[in-house]
Amino acid sequence: MDYEAITLNATQAHQFGKVSYASCIRFGALKRFLEAFKEVQRNEDPDQSKSICKYILNSLFDGEFAVIPPIIATYRGQLEFDKTKGQINFDIQSKLSINDGQHRVSGIKMAIKKLREDVEKATGEKKTYLEKKLDELENMRVQICIQTNLSIEEEQKLFHDINILGKRPSKSTALKFKKEDLYTALAMDLAQENKYLNTYGVNFDTHILKTNEYFTTLNVLRDSICYIITGSCNGTKETLTEENYESWKSTIDEVFNELFLALPGDCKSRDKYIIALATPFRSIGRYLHYLLNHNEISDWKSYVKGLRNIDWRHSSFWNARGGIYDITRDRVTFLTNTKGVFQTLVKYNQPEKPKTAVE
């Protein structure tokens, strides 16, 4: 061996005429070995890297369960495998080309950098505590699959096959398993416990509905609930907590009961009404938040009852009100922004006055 080597414990595998190795690398050593080369990788998305950084630090400090999936990389230099010891040796000066996982690697690096900065600023007991956390983070290990003897074209194909051929789960399917998110848990509970949602149906396995079998999807219901509670689709842990969860569930169950009483009985028909379309239903959630929190509205139920007088049918009424009406299809298409429909409801919906006995 005529180079300064790095040694890693590894297992060898043969697949389709190529040799690969499975090993682990310390978080603190990733910067030293791994690099995303532009000719075989897309540009980094800073927001995605920041999201992974936040995910890592939340888990480190809050104790939430987290997993960083394996990295796939290609070694472009000289590599030797010792079968007896189960070890690979490669040049300390070389780099592993990331084929899958550049945002995971970037997020880990970002988390370590931020924690180092926090350690430098801290003093006393806090500094000692953060130093221990930094040591813990740097010594965590991520699994890595190392490909060898790949050409640039083969690395490009590997990137394509991993990122294009692999089917991502729909947002609703992903949310179904994200049970630590209380807004998702609340949406799942109400989908089963609210009598109207249970009757009309909430699909947990897709993000787009093309038939009238279900009223909505889990992710749209979650967003609508977020709007009701917070006024936006980005719910915060501070607003919905384990302590007030049952109270909010009872409130929103009541709100949905009043809402569906006011809406047409066949409101889940997308061919006839706009109600069950994603943007309008999110917008209704935003409007319900407005009713529940507006200082000058004392009887929110009367305004919900008033929604029965809104013309929810596909029509030109929704042009420039968040929708685009296609007269040839008799269909309104909505953008994702809830502002148009929300402002329309604020402007046109009127409270329904209680009926009085006729003498």
Same domain (yes/no): 160, 218: no
Q: Which of 112, 142, 165 delimits the end of a domain?
A: 165
Q: Which two tokens stand for residue 261?
A: 């009483």
Residue 244 counted as domain residue:
yes
Residue 21 counted as domain residue:
yes
Same domain (yes/no): 19, 40: yes
Residue 78 counted as domain residue:
yes
Q: Which of 133, 165, 197 delimits the end of a domain?
A: 165
Q: Which of 107, 130, 165 delimits the end of a domain?
A: 165
Distance CA 287, CA 298 (A): 15
pLDDT at 359: 40
Residues 141, 27 contacting (CB under 8 angstroms): yes
pLDDT at 97: 86
Same domain (yes/no): 71, 188: no
pLDDT at 336: 83
Residues 96, 147 contacting (CB under 8 angstroms): no
Q: Which residues are registered as beta bridge partners of 313?
A: 273
Among all chains, which residue has been given the structure tokens 């009713």?
A: 291
**Predicted TM-score (pTM) of this structure:** 0.57
Pick the closest to residue 116 from 131, 105, 129 (CA basis). 131
* CB atoms closer than 10 angstroms to residue 78: 13
Same domain (yes/no): 331, 294: yes
Q: Amino acid letter at 221? A: L
What's the farthest any 2 CA atoms get from each other in the chain? 106
Same domain (yes/no): 220, 255: yes
Number of domains in the chain: 2
Same domain (yes/no): 156, 228: no
Strands (DSSP E) contained in the chain are 5-9, 11-15, 18-26, 34-35, 71-75, 79-82, 87-91, 96-100, 141-148, 202-203, 216-217, 323-326, 331-334
Domain of residue 317: give its range: 171-348
Residue 111 counted as domain residue:
yes
**pLDDT tens track, the chain, 359 positions:** 555 667 889 999 998 888 899 999 999 988 877 878 877 777 788 888 898 998 899 888 877 778 899 999 888 777 889 999 999 888 777 778 888 888 999 999 999 999 999 999 999 999 999 999 999 999 999 999 999 888 888 888 887 777 766 666 555 555 555 556 889 889 999 999 999 999 999 988 765 566 678 899 988 999 999 999 999 887 777 788 889 999 999 999 999 999 999 999 999 999 999 999 999 999 999 999 999 999 999 999 999 999 999 999 999 999 989 999 999 999 999 988 899 999 999 999 999 876 655 54
Same domain (yes/no): 153, 275: no
Distance CA 31, CA 118 (A): 19
pLDDT at 158: 83
Residue 226 counted as domain residue:
yes
Same domain (yes/no): 190, 322: yes
